[in-house]
Structure 1
Amino acid sequence: MEHEQFITKNTASGPNSTTKTEPFVKVIAIISTLGGLLFGYDTGVISGALLFMGKELHLTPFTTGLVTSSLLFGAAFGALAAGHLADSAGRKKIIILLAIIFAVGAAGTAMAPDVNWMIFFRLVLGLAVGGAAATVPVYIAEIAPANRRGQLVTMQELMIVIGQMLAYITNATFHEIWGGDTTWRWMLAIATIPAIMLWFGMMFMPDTPRWYAMKGRFAEARRILERTRAKEDVEWELTEIEETIEENRHKGKGKLRDLATPWLAKLFFLGIGIATIQQLTGVNTIMYYAPTVLKMSGLSTDAALFATIANGVISVLMTFVGIWMLGRIGRRPLVLIGQIGCTACLFLIGLVCMLPEFHANGGVNLVRCYMILAGMLLFLSFQQGALSPVTWLLLSEIFPTRMRGICMGGAVFSLWIANFIISMAFPLLLAYFGLAGAFFIFGVIGIGGGIFVIRCIPETRGRSLEQIEHYFYAKYNSSAKVKGLLNTIEKRKV
């Protein structure tokens, strides 16, 4: 089939369909995004647990950084492994396996007798977190109807921030009710509950129609489409999937060496850029170290833990705003709003941190403390309301079907490596440059991220996954014939 015939075919359904989302799709999204909830909880809970585990585990500044960042290091390799295995074994089976790893990791960290075991089980937990980050958005993107893909995929981001909010609330509540040096163990152990729920729920969920089609199981692909699409959309989407699969059949199963193909290499590096700039804003220095930063600004432990709950609440509320905005404006404008807003907030926080720490009478300058908190909340409004939801959505959309798992794994690997480096470096930045200097450094990096967004981020709204694949094939291919195809796509986008 010629690309031109594929792209210019006009349909009444598909990306511009006005049909409602089938209830079963919503159930699938809720169950699978429990992986996002665990992702958020396990990355957020450490911010409060660190305040209490230090004495029992004899933590030093270096081992504190290792406990925090070991999960992120494990997540990088979990993303690579899950991305590769999801293409061969299926998205569903990998998520079930990840649920088991989540439960083992949560139980292990809760019972860790010393810092070495804590770091080991945080690495195990990281494998599940990274795997979920690479697999769940792909699973939802492939099973969601094109006209609702944006909203459903960003449910993953919503569940991540809900998980982080629950972690902050749990930290403050456990400390308030029980207190004591062993409270941190209960903070970590409670994550086993959603892990079991994820495992049980995914046992009853299907795999995606695109994965079934990629394996030549078209009857099963049709059956899933019939359960997840309006009747008038089934034939259109199945035909589009079959045609794209057939075009790629002679290429065989996606392999790492396929990334040597120039247009795929360009697309892969675009994905790495999208993943990395989301971390280079420094968002997780706020999510992981917020209580530490607020204590450095002058708040008590109790006040810092309670104030951190506001970070979780604003993240959840603004993610709802981001989901709403995705239905009304494109991906590219939302990324640009988020990147510029986050960068401006980093400079704002840095300026506030330069205010006097104490009053003339020697008391703590609480105005400065709460201005820093307000700056964090404004930063999270841009991050969670614009930048983060679109990041996961773009990563789930831009890669071709036969390479989606491998490319997604590689892009999310780069995201977690950036997260790991930043989380390890942040305590050192605080020690050497202070609060203001640390945030100014991230602000300067944010300017570079803004240039990348302006020059490189594409618009994928209003296209099916197959149409996006053809768009990038045309955009990154150097031949004159294919460049002519790109003009056709832009003029006749469905």
Structure 2
Amino acid sequence: MDVRNEITASKFNPNFILQKVSNREAELLNKSGNVQKLSPKLFLRLVMFISTFGGLLFGYDTGVINGALPYMAKPDQLNLTPLTEGLVASSLLFGAALGSLTSGRLSDHIGRRKNILNLAALFFIAAMGCTFAPSVNVMVFFRFILGLAVGGASVTVPTYLAEMSPAENRGRMVTQNEFMIVLGQFLAFVFNAVLGVTLGESGHVWRYMLAICSLPAVVLWLGMLAMPESPRWLVSKGRVQEAMTVLRKARTEARAENELKEIQGMLTAEAHMKKATLKDFKIPWVRRILLIGIGLAVVQQLTGINTIMYYGTQILEKSGFSAQTALLANTVNGLTSVLAVVVSIWLMGKVRRIPMLLVGLAGTTTSLFLIAMASRLLEGSPQLPYVVLSLTVMFLAFMQGTAGPIVWLLLAEIFPLRVRGLGMGLAVLCLWLTNFLIGLTFPVLLADVGLFSTFMVFVVLGICSMIFVKVYAPETKDYSLEELEESFRNHGNCEIMENEPVDIKNPKLN
């Protein structure tokens, strides 16, 4: 049996690679052109840049509706009411909920890379459908299809990045996706403002806004053709040689061998288990992780972030700005988000996850409380729109600089390998369902009860979210995915004594 066949046949032996992957085999792989010439650092940057175009599409498609809705709502266009506005905005979110669930399972089956390729094609088709939609019904349908792609990207891209990155760089790489999301939203706000100011008299300006998002989809599809598959997924499918080749591109030789051994060791422990299904969540420690993941996903949306991202222009108009001024002012919100995520990427390697998340939630809750009070105390005042704009900037600085990126990172980290796709899919399903309900009801609430009462609801929810995070959220900084899984598993197997309860929030249980 040659070396290649031996590697494949022995996929669940943790010591095999260290014994059998010789220098001769490494030379063979190099001669075949399978090993990337870039340094590991540059290679990982390329992987990060290309794959996060999925995040850019996520951001643009969710942000573009902010400026397009006022033009779309005109009587000579789609003639939207507050309810149909909510449907157009939230149909994407309902699609994203389903896309996040199905995409997690699909990426477990066909691979992270191939799934991202499929999502890129879906982004393009749906973007064109929205651009040429002749009626509300057609628009809602294609926004739903676009949501399937957005939800799929929200699960698959962070998972791909988390599995491609070494433990010490995982926070930075996964958070890069959040940066691309907010960059996409910022670009949407900028294009909305430019098109609104220059072509605002044209009834079809919203179609140009929607058409632009087809371009990043093409870049993502072409770029992912050159990207490798996740090594963790390859090992799970028995393609050990390919996994080792990918790890060599992204790690030093010794690091690649050690990490492959670690991945195989984890798979060996799970080899006797059947394919991941919902029944796996009957295991107490796995169910606990799932509930924590769902709670974190819901917490992120209960901040009210997407009321600002989807309806920021309407909020600024309602506070006193003209339509075009509101479009221009909204670009400040987008720029704030981008700068805040840059700060977040820097903080991610220095600050522990949970304290950072708690600070973010405290800041967003305070910002919403001040917006509510300003709308009541300064109602009708010429200062109100500027105060509201300043407070939305404060809100976004806390949200995009801490709470938003941290939740996506935690969701990519906490689930065990065998159920990572399914578990994250379920958590993000709940994230998008929460987002859908907020997106659907917010314009109706804003029209019926005003800014004060609407934002006070989010203040109460923000307080509840902080309590949940403080009590249940686990700290994951500086641990490999395999170390986290082992510690959570050990906790689940421990006998919990009344006088000495085991704290799942501490990954290092020993």
Question: What is the TM-score normalised by the length of structure 2?
Answer: 0.89
Distance 1:115 1:489, change over 3 A: closer
| Residue 177 (structure 1) shift | 2.0
Give the residue type in structure 1 aligned to 2:72: M
Distance, in Å, in 2 between the alignment partners of 1:428 and 1:473 is 45
Please state if 1:38 is matched with 2:57: yes
Distance 1:485 1:292, change over 3 A: closer
Partner in structure 2 of residue 223 of structure 1 = 245
| Residue 29 (structure 1) shift | 0.8
8 Å CA contact 2:52–2:157 kept in 1: the answer is yes
Deviations 1:278-323 (A, max 9, x none): 0001110011111101111111001100000000000000001111
Distance, in Å, in 2 between the alignment partners of 1:366 and 1:487 is 48
8 Å CA contact 1:334–1:387 kept in 2: the answer is yes
Distance, in Å, in 1 between the alignment partners of 2:246 and 2:63 is 35
For residues 251-400 of structure 1, what are the structure 2 equivalents within 5 Å?
251-358=273-380, 365-400=381-416
| Residue 234 (structure 1) shift | 1.1
Secondary structure at the aligned position of 1:104 is classed as helix
Structure 1 outlier segments of 4+, above 2 Å: 355-358, 474-492
| Residue 480 (structure 1) shift | 5.9
Give the residue type in structure 1 aligned to 2:253: K
8 Å CA contact 2:68–2:209 kept in 1: the answer is yes
Give the residue type in structure 2 aligned to 1:112: A
Distance 1:103 1:357, change over 3 A: same
Distance, in Å, in 2 between the alignment partners of 1:353 and 1:459 is 38
8 Å CA contact 2:474–2:505 kept in 1: the answer is no
Please state if 1:472 is matched with 2:494: no
Secondary structure at the aligned position of 1:250 is classed as coil
Give the residue type in structure 1 aligned to 2:473: I
Q: Which of 196, 204, 213 matches 2:226? A: 204
Deviations 1:153-202 (A, max 9, x none): 00010000000000000001012222211010010001110001101111
Distance, in Å, in 2 between the alignment partners of 1:321 and 1:476 is 36
Partner in structure 1 of residue 261 of structure 2 = 239
Distance, in Å, in 2 between the alignment partners of 1:488 and 1:382 is 25
Distance, in Å, in 2 between the alignment partners of 1:466 and 1:483 is 23
What RMSD in Å do the two structures reach over aligned CA positions?
Answer: 2.0
Please state if 1:105 is matched with 2:121: no
Distance, in Å, in 2 between the alignment partners of 1:483 and 1:352 is 45
Partner in structure 2 of residue 86 of structure 1 = 107
| Residue 110 (structure 1) shift | 0.3
8 Å CA contact 2:56–2:183 kept in 1: the answer is yes
Distance 1:196 1:230, change over 3 A: same
Partner in structure 2 of residue 490 of structure 1 = 508
Partner in structure 1 of residue 153 of structure 2 = 132
Distance, in Å, in 2 between the alignment partners of 1:433 and 1:405 is 40
8 Å CA contact 1:474–1:486 kept in 2: the answer is no
Distance, in Å, in 1 between the alignment partners of 2:506 and 2:180 is 38
8 Å CA contact 1:76–1:130 kept in 2: the answer is yes
Distance, in Å, in 2 between the alignment partners of 1:357 and 1:413 is 38
Q: Once the two structures are aligned, what percentage of the paired residues are identical? A: 47
Secondary structure at the aligned position of 2:383 is classed as helix
Moved more, 168-177 or 304-313: 168-177
Secondary structure at the aligned position of 2:138 is classed as helix
Deviations 1:331-390 (A, max 9, x none): 1111111111111111111111112333xxxxxx23111111111110111100000111
Deviations 1:233-279 (A, max 9, x none): 11221111010011111103212221121111111011000111000
For residues 181-196 of structure 1, what are the structure 2 equivalents within 5 Å?
181-196=203-218
Distance, in Å, in 2 between the alignment partners of 1:114 and 1:486 is 51
Partner in structure 2 of residue 16 of structure 1 = none
Please state if 1:407 is matched with 2:423: yes
Partner in structure 2 of residue 433 of structure 1 = 449
| Residue 71 (structure 1) shift | 0.2
In the alignment, structure 2 segments of 5+ residues that lack a partner are 1-38
8 Å CA contact 1:475–1:483 kept in 2: the answer is no
Aligned length: 469
Distance, in Å, in 1 between the alignment partners of 2:505 and 2:474 is 15
Give the residue type in structure 2 aligned to 1:267: I
8 Å CA contact 2:73–2:79 kept in 1: the answer is yes
| Residue 80 (structure 1) shift | 0.6
Question: What is the TM-score normalised by the length of structure 1?
Answer: 0.92
